[in-house]
Amino acid sequence: MKKNLFIGFVTVLLLIAGITACEQVKASSKNKSEVEAAERENQSGEKDKSEEKIELSAEEIAEFNIKFKPAVSILIETEVHLPGEINLNYDKTARISPRVRGKTIKVFKGLGDTVKKGEVLAIISSRELANTKADYLAAIERLKLAKTVLERERKLWEKQITSQQEYLEAEKNYTEAKINYTTIKQKLFSFGIGEKE
């Protein structure tokens, strides 16, 4: 604290000394008689300033690392050093997690990257998704087969060649195959796979 106060005081003195030096340079351009008249006027109009005078030894100048430069007009700015942490703007950040479990094969975007709609972020290999796709394809074939059997059994039952029980059994199998197909299709939708895919 004392050191800062001392440095501030020395700075003010240096400023005063610089201003005085500037005045002396201006005065040197005037003729000698005008300078002498101005000095007499200053000395008579001012009080004794010997009490404001500060003298520093060479050791003190070296200890406080004081450097002498001509006084100039500048803006004094204060710097404040504070600890800080840089974070993402959480109001503009979204966490994205995959809809299906799997192993990440390749990542295209990192934390903090800008992402547009439809961009691929990563490639994930998922056994669960592969099994669901296989089940979906099998469900399509089962549904086709159950529909064919139902149509055949309906024709046979209408011609009284087969029993009503066999016809109802075929209708039940077709309904179950349709339910299974719809369930697996909805599961694929929940994984983010659209109708076209």
Residue-wise pLDDT for 67-110, tens only, equals 888 888 888 788 888 898 888 788 877 777 888 888 889 999 88
The residues, any chain, with a CB within 8 Å of residue 34's CB and separated by 6 or more, are 27
Tokens representing 92 are 């503009």
- Which residue(s) pair with 159 in the sheet? none
Confidence of residue 177 (pLDDT cuts 50, 70, 90): very high
The residues, any chain, with a CB within 8 Å of residue 54's CB and separated by 6 or more, are 9, 10, 13
Q: How far is CA 96 from CA 120, 121, 190, in A?
A: 12, 9, 15
pLDDT score, position 46: 52
Task: Please state, in angstroms and rounded to a whole number, the distance separating the CA atoms of residues 6 and 11.
Answer: 9
Q: Global pTM?
A: 0.47
Q: Is the pLDDT of residue 162 over 80?
A: yes
Condensed to tens digits (0 to 9), the pLDDT of residues 11-30 reads 766 667 666 655 655 555 54
pLDDT score, position 31: 47
pLDDT score, position 33: 55
Could you tell me the fold of the domain covering 103-190? Helix Hairpins (1.10.287)
The structural domains of the chain, with segments of one domain joined by +, span 2-63, 103-190
Q: Are 132 and 187 in contact (CB under 8 A)?
A: yes
Query: What mean pLDDT is predicted for residues 151-169?
Result: 87
| More reliable by pLDDT, 2 or 131 | 131
Residues in the chain: 197
Q: Is beta strand 122-125 parallel, antiparallel or unpaired with respect to 103-107?
A: antiparallel
pLDDT score, position 147: 92
The residues, any chain, with a CB within 8 Å of residue 167's CB and separated by 6 or more, are 153, 154, 156, 157
